[in-house]
Amino acid sequence: MRARIRDTEIFFDVEGVGLSADEDRMVERPTILVAHGGPGGDHTGFKPALSPLTDRFQIVYWDHRGQGRSARGPKDTYTLENNVEDLEALRQYLGLDQFILLGTSYGGMVALSYAVRYPQHLSHLIAVVTAASSRFLDRAREVLAERGTPEQREVTETLWAGAFEDEAELQHYFDTLGPLYSLKHDPEKAAKRWKRSILSVDPINHGFGTFLRTYDVLADLPKITCPTLVIAGRHDWICPPDLSEEIVGQIPQADLRIFEQSAHSVGGDEPELYLDTIRGFLTYNQHTRARALERLRS
């Protein structure tokens, strides 16, 4: 499906029902909006990993402007600012008052930025393997110097410069860095997943070449008022866990979970724990919120 919002067209996909039948009544299920990473990736990496959550939640995936199946446009419009405002426009398009926002990696940066600007529209926030400032660039370089091979360090220079020439070169980067992104990296399985994806060099070049170098929402994180789950991978090279600890220290209702057997791809390295952690967080906080509302009514 496609939503014509603001100055672009955003591709989105819905998995799971919004209303479910429960004996003599219809029950509205909470909606999770999922922000993918990159920039330059798409939403397909979350499928089918998050599908089991549709027994209790409706999931909406979308591709950021200029990425995946969303419309292309001027390169200078591929900004974090526009990603945040596109998300708000998509919320309005879908008619959602409040929703659950799950953002991973760069999608986590979009999610944190959205949460500080529109806290009233979030019931829950889940920030996965992400950072609140451009400090992640220096930390990633430090970790890469310690753990990376000469070839991995060489191809990553193109990332830091925002200078990929085409999608083939970007794909080569991900193939080379695969063992750093996932402790369970399997080249054959990874190749099949990448065939389902659409890579885009313009957004990642623009991001790493410009606005990610000055990105910083750390001081604004106390504005986030909803229950927040922050997930980190102990062996993450590009968003090390100390950056997640930094996030949790600034958000009043934040809980940190560090996955000890994961790198950046926590959903791939520890899939069962990943789903159980998200489900447990959402279920506990929904029950807590329901009890609080009941007390207010009584």
- 21-59 pLDDT tens trace: 888 898 999 999 999 999 999 999 999 999 999 999 999
Percent of the chain scored above 90 by pLDDT? 93
First to last CA, the chain: 43
Please give the Cα distance from 50 to 278 (Å, whole number).
10
The pLDDT, as a whole number, for residue 292 is 45
Burial of 69 (0-12, 13-18, 19+ CB in 10 A): middle
Whether the CA torsion 181, 182, 185, 188 is positive or negative: it is: negative
Average pLDDT, the chain: 95
Q: Which CATH number fits domain 2-297: 3.90.1150.10, 3.40.50.1820, 3.90.1140.10, 3.40.630.10?
A: 3.40.50.1820
pLDDT digits (tens, 9 = 90+) for 170-183: 999 999 999 999 99
Number of Cβ within 10 Å of residue 194's Cβ equals: 16
Q: pTM here?
A: 0.95
Burial of 222 (0-12, 13-18, 19+ CB in 10 A): exposed
Q: Are 159 and 172 in contact (CB under 8 A)?
A: no
Domain ranges of the chain: 2-297
pLDDT digits (tens, 9 = 90+) for 135-148: 999 999 999 999 99
DSSP-derived secondary structure for 38-66: TTT--GGGGTTTTGGGGGT-EEEEEPPTT
The pLDDT, as a whole number, for residue 288 is 57
